[in-house]
Amino acid sequence: MFIQDPITEKMKPIMAQIADEIKKSSKIIIRYHNDADGITGALAIYLALKPKRILNYQNRGVTYEPSDALSDIRNLQYEEAPLIILTDFSTNSESREARQLIKKSGIPLIIIDHHPIEEQIKKEADIYLSPWEIGGDSFYTAGWMCCEIAKLLGLNTEKAEELSKIALTGDKSIHYDPEEKDKEKSIVLDYIGIYSKFPNTLEFYESVLNDRILFTSISSQAMEKLEEIARVADKFSSIKKINFSNREIKIVILQLDKIVKTFSFPSKSKATGAVFDKYNEDTPFVLIGYGQKLITIRSNLQAQEIGFGSDIIVKKIKENLSDLILSGGGHPGASAMKIQSNSAKIIVNEILKLS
């Protein structure tokens, strides 16, 4: 187990329960978020179960759509012991209708996710594994939890840990200090995740991880795009200094819509991360990226230490401008908010006024 603490102890019985449920089922659908964390989690369970009947679909974004729920019901309707697993997505309020469709169909539903909870979803899933339910946070990533479950299902430890490392790296968990090769793998999976529309995607991910030449070619393409983003970011950034509890904080404000396109690599969130990493400041530093409907925030450790962590910023803004914030959450290093269209400037100004 990569992480060992009281939270993971509380997770163990739930993980065992999930593994049992999986063993009992005759046909499984697994759906996963199309980023490195979601992909590695689904892949671990998939590899553990092979050649058991398992259908896999990747989900663009974090919302489970009613159309997908209906397709899942159709695919499983004549099964003796069907099961649906959703991982690294589907716990936001926009997914409620789809979750309720599954609930009403009577097909067992397992949700494994680490996104901050927007609402109580316990009643809508037969088993819900989330660190937030037991006093943890997003650093216990969905992919890592799935890898632990995959071990219980017989996946060998070496493979499970390789995938775990990619999952924790992809979502910047504090529980693992990544090596270069983990970073490269997570970027490659993120890249393919955004562009793949073909079936049997999990098998393709596994083949790419095992094919040095293919892996390197995709990696170099993805790296070029990340470097390009970091290079042009300056043109679309402004720098502010604010005083907060007697310390100066450097804040960079980045126009995300100018540097990334929707549905292309990198996503707005990964682009924010790439630009943040480029700065590498050792005094309090915060990066705010904004688009039409989204704000992403990264805070370095020095900013977190003086009380200007991303999660606190989001919490305060939600209080001050509740009308403009549709949802938001995250952890001290990285958070995001969904906002009313074209309200970003007002919100950024409000952040600059926080003290």
> Given the rule CB under 5 A, which of 37-45, 122-130, 181-189, 197-205 is the region that contacts Mn ion?
37-45
Q: Closest separation between CB of residue 146 and Mn ion, Å?
A: 10
Question: Site residues for Mn ion, window 118-157 (CB under 5 A)?
Answer: 141-142
Please report how close the Cβ of residue 190 comes to Mn ion at its closest, in angstroms. 11
37 lies in the binding site for Mn ion (CB under 5 A): yes
**Residues 201 to 240: which contact Mn ion by CB under 5 A?**
none
Min dist CB 243 to Mn ion, Å, is 35
User: Which amino acid is it at 203?
Assistant: E
Residue 311 backbone phi and psi in degrees, to 5: -65, -35
When the beta carbons of 141 and 335 are compared against Mn ion, the nearer one is 141
* Nearest distance, CB of residue 138 and Mn ion, angstroms: 7
Nearer to Mn ion, 252 or 274 (CB): 274
Per CB under 5 A, which of residues 64..93 are in contact with Mn ion?
Answer: 88
Binders of Mn ion: how many residues, by CB under 5 A? 5
Q: In the range 326-355, which residues lie near Mn ion by CB under 5 A? A: none
Nearer to Mn ion, 40 or 300 (CB): 40
The distance of closest approach from Cβ of residue 38 to Mn ion in the complex, given in angstroms and rounded to an integer, is 6
Encode the chain in three state secondary structure: CCCCCHHHHHHHHHHHHHHHHHHHCCEEEEEEECCHHHHHHHHHHHHHHCCCCEEEEEECCCCCCHHHHHHHHHHHCCCCCEEEEEECCCCCHHHHHHHHHHHHHCCCEEEECCCCCCCCCHHHCCEEECHHHHCCCCCCCHHHHHHHHHHHCCCCHHHHHHHHHHHHHHCCCCCCCCCHHHHHHHHHHHHHHHHCCCCCHHHHHHHHHHCHHHHHHHHHHHHHHHHHHHHHHHHHEEEEEEEECCEEEEEEEEEHHHHCCCCCCCCHHHHHHHHHHHHCCCCCEEEEEECCCEEEEEECHHHHHCCCCHHHHHHHHHHHCCCCEEEEEECCCEEEEEECCCCHHHHHHHHHHCC
Which region among 64-72, 126-134, 166-174, 308-316 touches Mn ion (by CB under 5 A)? 166-174
| Min CB(168)–Mn ion separation in Å | 10
**Smallest distance from the beta carbon of 86 to Mn ion, in angstroms?**
12
Q: Please report how close the Cβ of residue 167 comes to Mn ion at its closest, in angstroms.
A: 7
Q: Which is nearer to Mn ion, 68 or 88 (CB)?
A: 88
- Quick one: 88 or 184, whose CB is closer to Mn ion? 88
CB atoms inside a 10 Å sphere around CB 292: 13
- Report which residue's Cβ sits closest to Mn ion: 37
Stretch that binds Mn ion, among 36-44, 67-75, 99-107, 221-229 (CB under 5 A): 36-44
If the CB atoms of residues 115 and 159 are measured against Mn ion, the closer one turns out to be 115
| Residue at token pair 């925030």 | 297
Q: For residues 177-206, which are near Mn ion according to CB under 5 A?
A: none
- Selected from 171, 182, 184, 311, the binder of Mn ion by CB under 5 A is 171
Q: Which residues bind Mn ion (CB under 5 A)?
A: 37, 88, 141-142, 171
